[in-house]
Amino acid sequence: MEYLDRNLLWQSDSLSGAIQRSKVLIAGVGGLGWQIGASLVGLGVQRFSIFDPDPLEAVNLNRLWGCSLQMAGKSKVELFADLTKGVSQDIQINTYAQSIPSEAFELELADSDVIFGGFDAPEPRLATQVLAKKHKKLYIDAGVTIKCGQAGLSGTGQVFRYRGGYDESCASGHSQACILCAGLGLNNKGYLDEQAKPLPSSGVLNGILGQLAVSTWLKILQQENVPDMLYFNWNNFNLIPVWSLPVKPDCPLCFEDAET
Amino acid sequence: MQKLKFIQRCLNEISSEYPQAELIEGDRYCPLLGVRIRNFELPTTIVEDTVDVLVPMPMCGGYFREAYISGVHVAQRLHVNFEGENSPLPFCIEATERDLVAMKTYYPLYRCIDRVPERYVICLYTETDQPRTPLQAIHLFSRYLAFYLENCRHIAAQRSADPKWLSHLVEGLSPRLKADFLAHAAR
């Protein structure tokens, strides 16, 4: 796998081995998921399953590098798979042009080591979190917000890491906080009601948050501590780690954790 | 998708008070679309005696505070006798098919709206003050109906800073009462 040679100059054997053994599910290959997926291919991930119900549209081309107008109308997951196969035919990739949740999604999630989420709607995001918890999977979710009509770089984003029983520390209950507990709401883009489209988008901000999400996973693979959430302000470049998000006692998604 | 443990808890809550509640079943990931309570007794402040009440059950996204949580459904517009006039109950709004479909992200019941004959929705909640379970929504619904007549002027005075809310409150009143009400609220 010559395309990975430069990685081996900085990845330890254990890290490259962990990357190549991992099965990764990407839920949503829009602006964020596409960036995440491209980085994971470059890192050496060999097994993917990807879900997105939407076809490519011309308006996606500001953030889906590698696509072209001629591809409009084709399924995003198939386009992503084609580009991936162009890097290496050995990469296994299961594609599903369908909504979340579904039986196929749950089966793939249960068989994956990590789930990356890059959604533009709240329901599949929370559903993925609930299923990640059910199957005790690591879920790394990225979201961005760009304010309409604002001057400058009026954008924010966050990477939310949900352990879902992934490691020992979550047994204490304090780090199982979910997206609702984190206080993220529909005013955070990526959590918006789908009726609110069209929304502003930027491949630049997606790229920053996408790379932070992937970097979060790399640090976890190296057994390093990572914050429950990373908050990024595009305007002033502040990157704020939130190390421990408490479970809210009345959270309908986490209530059984709060009770124990 | 629904969080099964939470939905089960909600259902237990409702069943403890309304054991005859009918379940509207869904599919694998949204097993309980809603519950219907037949012949729900209305307070004496309401002109109609009893109605069937339909309470949609939320998906995960329905728990977002800003999700514009659905209200309680009834099949007809309800009325109050307000100072001698039978007036439509404020916030008892006929929901169009488009309104309901727009909420299908949060309530699976609205994916199959042919199962929602009760098209009037009583929506009482602000973004920051929403019931956390469907039983709380039923209780709020009951309290609203019971206390609307005696408390509405006081409520309006408290909420007078919010013109949108106030305009809803008086939307069913006759022009005379509406003017009187707004004048009271502005004091």
**Exposed/middle/buried for residue A184 (C-beta within 10 Å: 0-12, 13-18, 19+):** buried
- Is the model more confident about A203 or about A250? A203
Pair A190, A120: CB distance under 8 Å: yes
Tokens, residue B11: 């259902």
List the beta bridge partners of residue B93: B121
Q: Encode pLDDT of B131-161 as tens digits.
A: 778 888 888 888 778 766 666 666 556 655 4
CB contact under 8 A, B60 and A126: yes
- With a pLDDT cut of 70, the percent of chain A lying above it is 87
CB contact under 8 A, A127 and B60: yes
A159: pLDDT strictly greater than 90: yes
CB contact under 8 A, B60 and A255: no
Query: CA-to-CA distance for B155 and B141, rounded, in angstroms?
Result: 16
Chain B touched by A259 (CB under 8 Å): no
Instruction: Indicate the helix (H) or strand (E) that contains A210.
Output: helix A203-221
ipTM of the assembly? 0.79
Of A68-72, A150-154, B109-113, the least confident:
A150-154
Chain A touched by B13 (CB under 8 Å): no
Which residue in chain A has the smallest CA separation from B63?
Answer: A252
Pair B97, B113: CB distance under 8 Å: yes
Instruction: Indicate the helix (H) or strand (E) that contains A156.
Output: strand A155-162
- Give the pTM: 0.84
Which of A99, A102, A184, A186 to substitute to test the interface with B, most B CBs within 10 Å?
Answer: A186
Query: CA-to-CA distance for B1 and B60, rounded, in angstroms?
Result: 6
Question: Residue A170: what pLDDT?
Answer: 45
CB contact under 8 A, A130 and B132: no
Query: CA-to-CA distance for B168 and B71, rounded, in angstroms?
Result: 15
At B168, is the pLDDT very low, low, confident or very high (cuts 50, 70, 90)? low
Query: CA-to-CA distance for A172 and A260, rounded, in angstroms?
Result: 9
Q: B19: cis peptide before it, omega within 30°?
A: no
Which of B11, B60, B103 to substitute to test the interface with A, most A CBs within 10 Å?
Answer: B60
**Residue B67 CB partners (closer than 8 Å, separation 6+):** A122, A186, A193, B58, B61, B106
Q: Encode pLDDT of B59-102 as tens digits.
A: 888 777 655 445 789 999 888 877 777 878 877 888 888 888 87
Return the number of other C-beta atoms located less than 10 Å from residue A205's C-beta: 23
Residues of A in contact with B105 (CB under 8 A): 121-123, 193-195
Query: CA-to-CA distance for B100 and A45, rounded, in angstroms?
Result: 43
- Is the model more confident about B128 or about B18? B18
Question: Residue B185: what pLDDT?
Answer: 65
Query: CA-to-CA distance for A73 and A56, rounded, in angstroms?
Result: 5
Query: CA-to-CA distance for B2 and B103, rounded, in angstroms?
Result: 15
DSSP label at residue B43 = P
Which residue in chain B has the smallest CA separation from A123?
Answer: B61
Chain A touched by B165 (CB under 8 Å): no
A252: pLDDT strictly greater than 90: no
